[in-house]
Amino acid sequence: MDHFLTVNVVTPAGLVYDHHAQIVVARTTDGEIGILPRHAPIIVPLAIDEIRVKRVDSDTHVDWVAVNGGILEVRDNVVSIVADSAERDRDIDVSRAERAKQRAERQIEEAKQVEDVDQLRRATVALHRAINRINVSKHS
């Protein structure tokens, strides 16, 4: 049990990912973190970014999951990620993500023109999420 991690990613829609891993790499709000078996218990906030999971079945088998923020908890070789939304690379609808990116870019321009700080902030987050999904989709 001490030689691998159990990794699960959960969203309000349910379980998105559940596998065993050698290592998990994620971006927290303070920077990148790598989790190996027997890692100390932690709870950290995640940035909008990709999660890389190196599976136990092969040294070259890496799964990629796009997460839109959330929380990562490590306890007893279990890595639990709770996020508002998350998608595996193979499940991402790239054309939908491209449309979301274009929509966010238009909203950013509109917000700048009317100097709406709140709209600018929301549109910037939407753009970051779309770009993250597009980037993660390239791994599949």
- 13 — phi, psi (to 5°)? -80, -10
Question: How many Å apart are CA 43 and CA 73, to the nearest integer?
Answer: 4
Strand partners, 87: 66
Task: Name the residue range of residue 20's domain.
Answer: 5-89
116 shares a domain with 72: no
User: pTM here?
Assistant: 0.87
The count of structural domains within the chain is 2
Asked if residues 17 and 9 have their Cβ atoms less than 8 Å apart, the reply is yes
84 and 31 co-located in one domain: yes
Q: What is the pLDDT of residues 19-31, one digit of tens each?
A: 999 999 999 999 9
Partner residues linked to 72 by β-bridges = 44, 81
User: Each residue of 84-131: pLDDT tens digit?
Assistant: 899 998 899 999 999 999 999 999 999 999 999 999 999 999 999 999
Residues 19 and 63 in one domain: yes
67 and 112 in a single domain? The answer is no
Are both 72 and 104 inside the same structural domain? no
Q: Are residues 73 and 14 in the same domain?
A: yes
Q: Where residue 20 sits, what CATH number does that domain have?
A: 2.60.15.10
95: which 2 tokens? 């054309």
48 with 78, same domain: the answer is: yes
| Gap between the Cα atoms of 71 and 29, Å rounded | 10
pLDDT tens sequence across 30-72: 999 999 999 999 999 999 999 999 999 887 889 999 999 899 9
